Amino acid sequence: MRVQIRNRSPIEWRYTEDGFLRVTMCVLREDVRVYAQGEFKEAPEFQGYKELREYIPLEEFTPEALASLEGMEVLVGEHEWRIPGDATSPADGSIAGSPRVEGGGIFCDAIIRGKDAIRRITEETLPEWERLIEVSAGYSGELIPEAGEFNGLPYDARQTNIRFNHILLLPAGEGRCGPSVRITNQRMEAAVPEEQKEKQTLILRFGNAEKKFRFSNEEDRKEAESMVEEERKFNASQLEKSMSEKKELEAQIATLTAKLAEHDKTLQDARAKIDELLKIEVQEAKAEELANQKNDEESIVSEEVGSSEEKEKVLNSIRKGDGDKLSTMAERRFKTVTWVLNKKGAKAPESWKQEAYDAAFDTMALNAATKPQPKVERVLNGGAVAEQVSIQSPRERMLSRMDFFNKKENKNGK
């Protein structure tokens, strides 16, 4: 960051007739402040918090809160809760007049009486660690658990019922509420020729971005505070955004890792099934199942066609798949049922799934098997082979097949 301030006019401090220093200060501002463990009151709802982000609402700067600030002592060094008749260190000043709310903060005048405190405020040649610039308010209040967000900053609790006890002056960088809570002074300008009263420009650069602040002398301190506050909020919002994006990426990685594990398991299961299918017993069972279905397909189609040529054409269309592939058994059952229904001028319901087509196929095969079918017998007639056709019922076909196998077994037994 680079700051440029041009054409600053000479400034004088304000003193009372008795020589005390009169300053204007911002003692508290609407914002989110972070308190470390031990700084906030232990309560069941805040157990386990390592730090607590507390929101100080503008609406809590009530007339009662402002009235409690009137006349409060101004200290230097460390916070000391002031109790009547029990102060261990003297005060260096006190709040004067009536506090007021301006631009999201509480402003008031203070009379500084301590000689060393006046010196540390007014001598601009002192090092920053010694000059008294920032302000920290000592006050009591109540904490209400409430999650929310203010100016891009999340918070866990909200302060309410604010009552002031004292005000502490600190060097730059030591105030909890940041550089905007400080002595603003509204100092008096010394006599300066009109031609020298030019507007000042303060330029703030961070990265490739540039923000300009233009102000007159009477407003220079407020504009400088605005510049610093703008930078702080920008950095805080960028950090919060980065943390949020990091959490989202971590969640996505966890989801993808879980999906990868699921795919790995699916692949392992598929490999196990392939290994199982490659076993000889499984292959034989599949071959037998395929042969039975092939017979059923032929029986069903035979019921609907009039010639062997047409039958072969239909069977070929049922068994042929995409490209050079053959249809699966399930596809063949689907095609067979669809073909028969179309042949009869019917159509399967749209709600049918593969299980319905399988059941319809089995029913059609059973119907075809229970009808009498021609039987072809080959007999030897004077050295020539002749064909004799007869009609058999399902029972006759079953008995004839049993008789055939029995004769074959007896012959092999001899």
**Coil/strand/helix, residue 388:** strand
What is the percent of the chain where pLDDT is above 70?
A: 73
Confidence at 373, pLDDT banded by 50, 70, 90: low
Tokens 């039987």 belong to residue: 375
Element (H, E) at 141: strand 134-150
Residue 112 phi/psi, 5° resolution? -100, 120
**Could you give the CA distance from residue 89 to residue 91 in angstroms, rounded to a whole number?**
7
Contact 29, 104 (CB under 8 A): yes
Question: In this structure, are 17 and 152 located in the same domain?
Answer: yes
Q: Give the pLDDT score at 150.
A: 94
**Could you give the CA distance from residue 380 to residue 82 in angstroms, rounded to a whole number?**
131
Element (H, E) at 260: helix 220-277
Sorted by sequence, the CB contacts under 8 Å of residue 4 that are 6+ apart come out as: 201, 202, 203
Q: Which amino acid is at 78?
A: E
Question: In this structure, are 96 and 118 located in the same domain?
Answer: yes
Q: Give the pLDDT score at 138.
A: 93
Domain membership flag for residue 241:
no
Domain membership flag for residue 39:
yes
Domain membership flag for residue 61:
yes
Mean pLDDT score across all residues of the chain: 79
Domain membership flag for residue 137:
yes
Domain span including residue 399: 373-414
Contact 365, 300 (CB under 8 A): yes
Chosen domain end from 132, 158, 191: 191
Confidence at 194, pLDDT banded by 50, 70, 90: very low
Q: Give the pLDDT score at 28.
A: 95
Domain membership flag for residue 338:
yes
Q: Are strands 14-15 and 153-170 parallel, antiparallel or unpaired?
A: unpaired
What is the percent of the chain where pLDDT is above 90?
A: 31
Reported as a single tens digit per residue, the pLDDT across 23-81 is 999 999 999 998 887 776 666 778 778 888 999 999 999 999 999 999 999 999 888 88
Tokens 């890792």 belong to residue: 257
Tokens 């098997």 belong to residue: 369
Domain membership flag for residue 259:
no
Question: In this structure, are 310 and 383 located in the same domain?
Answer: no
Chosen domain end from 154, 169, 191: 191
Element (H, E) at 233: helix 220-277
282: tokens are 């499984």
Who has greater pLDDT, 265 or 228? 265
Contact 200, 220 (CB under 8 A): yes
Q: Give the pLDDT score at 219.
A: 56
Give me Rg for the CA atoms of the chain: 48
Residue 387 confidence (pLDDT) above 80: no
Residue 178 confidence (pLDDT) above 50: yes
Element (H, E) at 384: strand 384-392
Confidence at 308, pLDDT banded by 50, 70, 90: confident
Domain membership flag for residue 246:
no
Question: In this structure, are 88 and 38 located in the same domain?
Answer: yes
Whole-structure pTM value: 0.45
Question: In this structure, are 283 and 345 located in the same domain?
Answer: yes
Question: In this structure, are 138 and 11 located in the same domain?
Answer: yes
Question: In this structure, are 56 and 176 located in the same domain?
Answer: yes
Residues 346-358 have a mean pLDDT of: 89
**Could you give the CA distance from residue 224 to residue 220 in angstroms, rounded to a whole number?**
6
Chosen domain end from 141, 156, 191: 191
Helix 354-369 to helix 280-302 angle (10° resolution) is: 70
Question: In this structure, are 359 and 410 located in the same domain?
Answer: no
**Could you give the CA distance from residue 35 to residue 55 in angstroms, rounded to a whole number?**
11
Confidence at 2, pLDDT banded by 50, 70, 90: very low
Q: Give the pLDDT score at 398.
A: 46
**Could you give the CA distance from residue 36 to residue 56 in angstroms, rounded to a whole number?**
16
Give the DSSP per-residue string, 9-29: PPEE-EE-TTS-EEEEEEEEE
Reported as a single tens digit per residue, the pLDDT across 88-100 is 788 999 999 899 9
Domain membership flag for residue 248:
no
Question: In this structure, are 403 and 288 located in the same domain?
Answer: no
Element (H, E) at 311: helix 308-319
Question: In this structure, are 287 and 401 located in the same domain?
Answer: no
**Could you give the CA distance from residue 263 to residue 269 in angstroms, rounded to a whole number?**
10
Residue 166 phi/psi, 5° resolution? -165, 170
Q: Give the pLDDT score at 195.
A: 44
Name residue 245's beta-bridge partners.
none
Question: In this structure, are 75 and 172 located in the same domain?
Answer: yes
* Calculated CA dihedral for residues 92, 97, 101, 103, nearest 10 degrees: -70
Start-end of H helices in 320-393: 329-343, 354-369
**Could you give the CA distance from residue 370 to residue 149 in angstroms, rounded to a whole number?**
79
**Could you give the CA distance from residue 347 to residue 310 in angstroms, rounded to a whole number?**
22
Number of separate domains in the chain: 3
Element (H, E) at 379: strand 373-381
Question: In this structure, are 164 and 187 located in the same domain?
Answer: yes
